[in-house]
Amino acid sequence: MMFEKARAARRGRGATHERQPDSDDRHPSKETTMPKWMTVAVLATGVAVATVGCSQQSSAPAVVIEDKVYSVTPASLTVQAGIVTSEVTEMKVTERVEKGSGTVVSPAKLTGTLKLKNSSKDQAVRLLGGKILYIDGDGQPIKLSETRTEPAIKFTSYGPTERLDPGQDATQSMDVDFPAAALKAKKLKEIRLELAYIPSSYREQTINFAVSIGEGK
At residue 68, the pLDDT reads 92
- Number of domains forming the structure of the chain: 1
What's the number of CA atoms in the CB half-sphere (13 Å) around residue 23?
Answer: 0
At residue 157, the pLDDT reads 52
| Residue 104 counted as domain residue | yes
- 108: containing domain: 76-201
| Residue 80 counted as domain residue | yes
Enumerate residue ranges in the chain where pLDDT < 50.
1-3, 5-6, 8-9, 12, 14-18, 21, 23-25, 27-56, 158
| Residue 95 counted as domain residue | yes
| Residue 63 counted as domain residue | no
| Residue 50 counted as domain residue | no
Torsional class of 165: left (φ above 0), alpha (ψ -120 to 50), beta (otherwise): beta
Q: 3-state DSSP: the chain helix, strand, coil percent, rounded to 5?
A: 25, 40, 35
| Residue 19 counted as domain residue | no
In this structure, are residues 94 and 153 in contact, taking their beta carbons and an 8 Å threshold? no
Q: CATH number of the domain that 181 lies in? A: 2.60.40
pLDDT in tens, 66-84: 999 999 999 998 988 889 9
At residue 217, the pLDDT reads 79
| Residue 116 counted as domain residue | yes
| Residue 88 counted as domain residue | yes
pLDDT in tens, 143-187: 998 889 889 888 765 455 578 999 999 998 999 999 999 998 889
In this structure, are residues 73 and 186 in contact, taking their beta carbons and an 8 Å threshold? no
At residue 190, the pLDDT reads 92
pTM above 0.85, yes or no: no
Within 10 Å of residue 64's Cβ, how many Cβ atoms?
9
The Cα–Cα gap between 157 and 72 comes to 31
